Amino acid sequence: GSSPRVARILLTRHPAPHRSAVLAMARWPVLLAAAALAGSVSAITIRDRQDLVSPSIPTEHISNDTWAFAIQSNDDLVAIKKINTESGTTEVHVLSAASNYQNSIYRTGTALHETDDTFAFAVKRNNDLVAIKKSSTDTRSTEVHVLSASSNYQHFVLQTGTPLHETDDTWAFAMKENDDIMAIHKSETDTHSTEVLMLSAASDYKEFVLHTGTALHETDDEWAFAMKRNGDVVAIKRGGTTELQVLATSSNFQTFALQTRTALHETDDTWAFAMKKNDDLLAIKKGSVDRPTTEVILLSAASQYQESARLGGAGLIQGASVGEFARRSHAHAVDTRRHFLAARETLVG
């Protein structure tokens, strides 16, 4: 006789100091997660809705290392899920620029196994996905693996070693407009500056076309990198204030085209960055269980990054996997645990 929005909870006493609960769920997945948190509930059976998620899924954070981001040629935002995927592969999720990144318009598993922090990612002009394997490679070099957009990322069109030795966290990568790969050596360099090495697309990344020190001092994990359409390297300093140092390609990165603080508040390693084709900068705040929505803030190139616009929570929440939904529901259920326990005691009494 209960409302369709309320779960009926039947508790039975057992000789052992545990009870079993049968939950006839209609439309309340949060309460299902709350039931798992109740210490005296030993078994949960789901009736009616077979698509409800298990409350036993752990509540680990949606890790900063789980997702990487890149921009497609039409400014759609590619969110690359590296681990803990439903498909058991590295997944591609696409958020549309037309919706200000509110809508998830595409999602697929790929031919690439799940990946970790030894991988970096970029997107070519034709929207092929470039997976850069930095270390623990068969060729003992930094490797390039390219998944074709035309196959929905089900096939590789290139897998190759490069003349660049294996790399680590002191390296970052960016893609030029002509699909050359920019390898940015942040620290422990011969020139005692942040160095730029360029692998040419024309040689299938088997040749360097540039290797130089720059006007930028050595950098560390506080720094992220992007690339403008004209080939300038954008160094983004996270911290108390978010700053930009733009190295000019016209000087082979020996001079700065721009050095400025931005309109963006303090950032840390939970923020990622991507450059639109008009050189607007997207600042992407990655989600966690407490803040499950990925947020996107736009810094405009026209204002020299002094003006920002919050584009809201990105469509990753709509495109989230069942597992992620379960983690969020489980986390929210902590707030309802007291109500659940009170309801249980009332029913038992």
pLDDT digit string, tens, across residues 222-249:
999 999 999 999 999 999 999 999 999 9
Higher-confidence residue of 340 and 55: namely: 340
pLDDT value for 64? 63
Distance in angstroms (rounded) separating the CA atoms of residues 19 and 14: 6
Look at the block and give the residue holding tokens 């037309």: 98
Residues paired with residue 239 on neighbouring β-strands, in sequence order: none
Mean pLDDT on 102-112: 95
Contact status, residue 305 vs residue 282, Cβ threshold 8 Å: no
Contact status, residue 280 vs residue 299, Cβ threshold 8 Å: yes
pLDDT digit string, tens, across residues 92-105:
999 999 999 999 99
pTM summary value: 0.74
- Ranges of beta strands (E only) in 232-344 are 233-237, 243-247, 256-261, 271-275, 281-285, 295-299, 308-313
Q: Which two tokens stand for residue 184?
A: 């940015």
Three-state DSSP class for residue 215:
strand
> Is the predicted pLDDT of residue 134 greater than 90, yes or no?
yes
CA 183 to chain centre: 20
Residues paired with residue 141 on neighbouring β-strands, in sequence order: 165
Contact status, residue 83 vs residue 114, Cβ threshold 8 Å: yes
Instruction: Work out the number of other CB atoms within 10 angstroms of the CB of residue 234.
Output: 21
